[in-house]
Amino acid sequence: MAGIYNGIQFRTRLEAVWAAFFDLAGWQWSPNPVSIEDWKPDFKVTFECGHSECNGSHTLLISVLPVKSLEKLAGHPALSYQFTVPNSDADGGALFGDNPAATEWVIAHGAGGGSEDLYFRVSNADVLWKQALNKVQQSC
C-alpha cells in the first residue's frame, strides 16, 4: 500500500512515515537517490553532528524494509557500505525497518565511529515516530 506525506506519494506507507520522521527530527532527506552498484537506496538523509572532529553533518543512504528486526539482514547490500559509500558523498549505508529500534548503520564519528542506530542520534525517537505515523495518509 502506498502512503502520502506532505502531498508526496511514496511506494509504501512505511517510506512515507520515515519521510515524516526525518522532517520531525530535523534531518534533510530526498527520496530515491541513484543506485550504488547492486543497491538502490530509498532515501538519502543528512543530519547535523556537533562533534568537533566531524565536518558538521553525516549523510546516509537508507533502505527501508518492512521488518521488525534487522537480525537476519546482515547480508543486505546497505550494510556492506560501512564508513563510506563509493562514488557518493554518503558516510555509509543504513537499514531502517518498521520502527526506530530496527535501524542500523556504521559510520566514522569523531576519532572513531562504528555501529549506530536511531536512538544514538535522536533522543526522542519513539515520540517522533508516533507523530510521524499520524501524519501519513494511506492510499490504495
- On whether the CB atoms of residues 33 and 40 are closer than 8 A, the answer is no
Q: pLDDT class for 139, splitting at 50, 70, 90?
A: low
Which residues lie closer than 8 Å to 22 by C-beta, 6 or more apart?
A: 28, 29, 43, 45
- On whether the CB atoms of residues 63 and 73 are closer than 8 A, the answer is no
Find the helix or strand (DSSP H, E) in which 19 lies: helix 13-25
Higher-pLDDT residue of 25, 52: 25
| pLDDT score for 108 | 82
- Tens of pLDDT, residues 90-111: 999 999 999 999 999 998 876 6
Cα separation of 116 and 106, whole Å?
A: 6
- Interior angle at CA 123, CA 64 and CA 92, nearest 5: 40
What ranges do the domains of the chain cover? Answer: 2-132
Looking at the predicted structure, is the pLDDT value of residue 125 above 90? yes
Query: 2-5 and 137-139 as β-strands: parallel, antiparallel, unpaired?
Result: antiparallel
SS3 state at 59: strand
